[in-house]
């Protein structure tokens, strides 16, 4: 379980300070699929970054199974990220001079997962092992980044606009792969999107506005990537 307690976060200097997270409290159960919605600039990415340990909050706490990550040193926080969380962004951040296999293996090496070929197969890339990112379509590159993030078997996966650079067909396909993998492996998932339709795939939908949570709702019957509108 992830427990977020009254976090605040600001950017800028003392004279020019922008308060981006204005006291956020949330609870994310193990295996939950949370979608975070909100207008551009409402603080979604900042929230994701603080909850996942990419950035530090100014105040408040973020607890994983009762362990507060806010008090960790930089090196402890790095180990925490390595062992516990995975990331997928709108940009794929693949290493251009490494093959698909090596890009994914980097993620797997972090956790000593010798089993990473399974995950490459699970995202339909077994035929592309020796290709370089530049030889792949956008949708395929995003699937490499999905495999890389999941090769290390994270407890929680954080996704920031993962379909933002994809067209409808490849976007649905990426979401379908992610959602199938979640069903199989049971990791917790928090996804930022501004596509309201994607919220219908989640168990829990958190709406943010201007640095605050304004609504939390649950879906009794989440839809698949091919059942939602786009
Ligand atoms: N590193 C940063 N430095 C300064 N301002 C930032 C930084 N990151 C985000 N902001 C500002 O914080 C606000 C919220 O940003 P963000 O969390 O990216 O919102 P969202 O993801 O909902 O679009 C915006 O006004 C943005 O300009
Ligand atoms: Mg954002």
What are the sequence ranges of the domains in the chain? 29-56+83-218
CA of 162 to the centre of ligand 2 (A): 11
Q: How many CA atoms lie within 13 A of 90 on its CB side?
A: 10
Element (H, E) at 192: strand 188-192
In sequence order, the β-bridge partners of residue 88 are 159
Ligand in nearest proximity to the CA of 36: 1
CB atoms under 10 Å from CB of 200, counted, come to: 17
End-to-end CA distance of the chain: 31
Q: Name the token pair of 8.
A: 């605040």
CA of 199 to the centre of ligand 2 (A): 16
Q: What is the pLDDT of residues 92-149, one digit of tens each?
A: 999 999 999 999 998 888 778 888 999 999 999 999 999 999 999 999 999 999 999 9
High-pLDDT (> 90) share of the chain, %: 93
Ligand in nearest proximity to the CA of 164: 2
Q: What is the pLDDT of residues 13-37, one digit of tens each?
A: 889 999 999 999 999 999 999 999 9
CB atoms under 10 Å from CB of 91, counted, come to: 13
Which ligand 1 atom sits nearest the alpha carbon of residue 208?
Answer: 22
State whether CATH 3.30.2290.10 applies to domain 29-56+83-218.
no
High-pLDDT (> 70) share of the chain, %: 100
Q: Which residues, judged by CB distance below 6 Å to any ligand atom, belong to the binding site of ligand 1?
A: 11, 18, 20, 38, 40-46
């Amino acid at each position: 379980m992830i427990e977020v307690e009254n976090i605040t976060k600001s950017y800028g200097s003392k004279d020019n300070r922008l308060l981006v997270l204005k006291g956020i409290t949330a609870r994310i159960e193990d295996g939950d699929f949370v979608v975070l919605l909100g207008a551009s600039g409402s603080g979604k990415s900042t929230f994701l970054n603080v909850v996942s340990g990419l950035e530090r909050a100014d105040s408040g706490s973020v607890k994983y199974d009762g362990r507060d990550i806010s008090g960790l040193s930089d090196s402890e926080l790095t180990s925490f990220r390595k062992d516990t969380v995975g990331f997928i962004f709108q940009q794929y951040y693949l290493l251009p001079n490494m093959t698909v296999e090596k890009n994914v293996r980097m993620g797997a090496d972090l956790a000593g997962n010798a089993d990473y070929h399974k995950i490459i197969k699970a995202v339909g890339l077994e035929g592309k092992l020796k290709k370089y990112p530049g030889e792949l379509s956008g949708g395929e590159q995003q699937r490499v980044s999905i495999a890389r993030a999941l090769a290390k078997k994270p407890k929680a996966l954080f996704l920031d606009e993962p379909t933002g650079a994809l067209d409808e067909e490849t976007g649905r396909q990426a979401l379908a792969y992610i959602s199938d993998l979640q069903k199989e492996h049971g990791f917790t998932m928090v996804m930022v999107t501004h596509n309201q339709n994607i919220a219908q795939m989640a168990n829990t939908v958190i709406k943010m506005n201007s640095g605050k949570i304004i609504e939390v709702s649950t879906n009794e019957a989440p839809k698949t990537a091919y059942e939602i509108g786009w």
